[in-house]
Amino acid sequence: MNQIDREEFVTCVQAAECLDVSVSTVKRMCDQQTLDCARTSGGHRRISMQSISRWLAVQKSQDSDFSERSFEHSSLDHSPLDTDLTLNRLLSGGMADLKGFLNYLQAEGWSIPRVLDEILLNALKECRCKCDFEEIPPYSMNQCIAALRDLIGYLLLTQGTPTSHAPIAVGGCVGPSRNDVESSAIALGLGAIGCRATSIGSRVDPGDIAAAAARHDAKIVWMNCSHVVDAEELQRFAQDLSGGLSESHLMLLTGGGSCQINRRCLPCDLACDSIVELTEFVTHRVLRNSSPLIGGATQFRAA
């Protein structure tokens, strides 16, 4: 957790750093009166440090209450692959419950890429589907995305720090959506197998990804196209990124499965929708001589 000056009131950005959550989550917590805040003359929020400290203390207490044993008993009635159950957890906003669930999966030997593929991103797909068919209100998507961002941040904190010699990976999400959850999940998955991975965000241009790869001296470059629905646009994005990279880069393309296009023909080293498949590919091509991996990817550790 980043340390900030212990003033009586802090900005939303500082509060987000202190709580290890997104700025949008801080604002939602203020609206729900979970955090105490005041307004400046310009209308900006200032968060009470006392309420932040109080929330952290409660959160720590709740986390300790959700042991692996509680989920071991619940698993007798519900499979971890129950997507509706995971989605309900995401929409309920109970982060302690979700973290306990992840700790249970860790104890069962699940890797981060598998958790992302089969649990978290499956729940995101289910939420999109339910919103499209008006089974749940549209704002549920924002709730789901906010919860997933918080969980990805939590899992990032539980990972070990890659070595200075670890291969660097950068990427981002193209298309119209401001949602970069898939790209952040890729960064998390690559970090779990020992890469130094960074997502540059959403609504980026392929040229921005290529420039970031050059700036960071990255070996692995990914582009997420989950929000691209036009085949010609997908082809153009892939060609633009490929043109900005050298042959030494490992170019990975994710998403775009809904486009009517044979992704095998795209100018990339791998095109897939699975983070497990992506991390296994990177392990084989880049990390083959690194330390042994568990189940195809390093297991995440409970905080």
Structural domain boundaries in the chain: 9-63, 64-158, 168-285
- For residue 52, the model assigns a pLDDT of 84
**Residue 226 identity:** S
Contact call for residues 238 and 268 (beta carbons, < 8 A): yes
Same CATH topology for 64-158 and 168-285: the answer is no
* 64-158 fold: 1.10.1240
- For residue 57, the model assigns a pLDDT of 74
- For residue 191, the model assigns a pLDDT of 93
* Distance, CA of 39 to CA of 216 (rounded, Å): 39
- The answer as to CATH 1.10.540.10 being correct for domain 9-63 is no
- For residue 200, the model assigns a pLDDT of 93
- For residue 79, the model assigns a pLDDT of 67
- For residue 1, the model assigns a pLDDT of 40
List, for residues 10-29, the tens digit of each pLDDT value. Answer: 888 888 888 877 788 888 88
- For residue 30, the model assigns a pLDDT of 84
Q: Give the 3-state secondary structure of residue 283.
A: helix
Q: Give the 3-state secondary structure of residue 127.
A: helix
Residue 265: Cβ-neighbour burial (10 angstroms; 0-12, 13-18, 19+): exposed
- The answer as to CATH 3.40.50.720 being correct for domain 168-285 is no
Among residues 154, 149, 112, which one has the least CA distance to residue 279?
112
- For residue 59, the model assigns a pLDDT of 63
List of the chain residues with pLDDT < 50 = 1-7, 64-77, 290-303
